[in-house]
Amino acid sequence: MAAKKKAKVRRTPADLSKSWKALEPQLDKQRAECERQGQTFISITQEQLDTKLKRIHSPMFVSSGWDATVSPGGTLNYVVQLVSFDVFQWNNLALAVSFGNRNPILSNDQFLSTSDPRFPTYAKHAPLGFTLLQGLISTFRFQLNIPAGIEKTGYFGNCVVQQLAFLDVGKCFDRASFFFDVV
């Protein structure tokens, strides 16, 4: 017997509009907070959300904010927001933040295996990850230590949301990137 194909989830224009209306006020609130703190802020647009929801059905990044400049040996504040519009919850999720010019790398294997060794990799939430419920936006904050002897130039940061599989191979769902100057 042939294997059954997974049914593709179809979202109507009304579904997409409803998703955006639920998300937009939360993005506006995070934008105001980041701007109050003098941080760079980016968020998904309605068109980008529609495209993502047609392409993927899993946790996704919808906004991020970060300090645009930091001194060598200083701390860079980074905040990222995730949401899932799937009809079920996702468990054992983790975020990892690392550094290096990897945003355009298509292969998750290569993306996850290369980073700038001068910087540590940060992860949340140990030991079993976190749960993401349908339609609720989750906000995660990182304080990233910048090495003291680092060159004064621009650097790329990368964040990935993944599902941990403690006794098997996990899944990589989505990525975000940010760019900052060490001055």
Q: How far apart are CA 34 and CA 78, in angstroms?
A: 10
Domain annotation covers residue 143: yes
What pLDDT score does 96 carry? Answer: 93
Ramachandran angles phi, psi of 80, nearest 5°: -135, 145
What pLDDT score does 4 carry? Answer: 44
| Residues counted in the chain | 183
pTM of structure: 0.87
- Counting the structural domains of the chain, the total is 1
What pLDDT score does 3 carry? Answer: 45
Torsion (CA) 122, 181, 178, 118 in degrees, nearest 10: -30
CA distances from 69 to 38, 40, 54, 77, 119 (A): 10, 10, 35, 10, 16
What is the extent of the structural domain holding 112? 14-182
Domain annotation covers residue 5: no
CATH code at position 81? 2.60.40.10
3-class SS shares of the chain: helix, strand, coil, % to 5? 20, 40, 40
Domain annotation covers residue 6: no
Domain annotation covers residue 106: yes
Amino acid identity, residue 34? C
Domain annotation covers residue 1: no
Over residues 19-62, the pLDDT tens digits come to 889 899 999 999 999 999 999 999 999 999 888 888 776 899 99
Helix (H), strand (E) at residue 73: none
Domain annotation covers residue 112: yes
DSSP state of 134: B
Q: Give 26: exposed, middle or buried? Use CB within 10 Å, 0-12, 13-18, 19+.
A: middle
Domain annotation covers residue 176: yes
What pLDDT score does 135 carry? Answer: 80
- Where the chain has pLDDT below 50, the residues are 1-7
Domain annotation covers residue 84: yes
CA distances from 158 to 9, 91, 100, 149 (A): 29, 22, 7, 21
What pLDDT score does 7 carry? Answer: 46
**Residues 6+ away with beta carbon under 8 Å from 152:** 72, 181, 182, 183
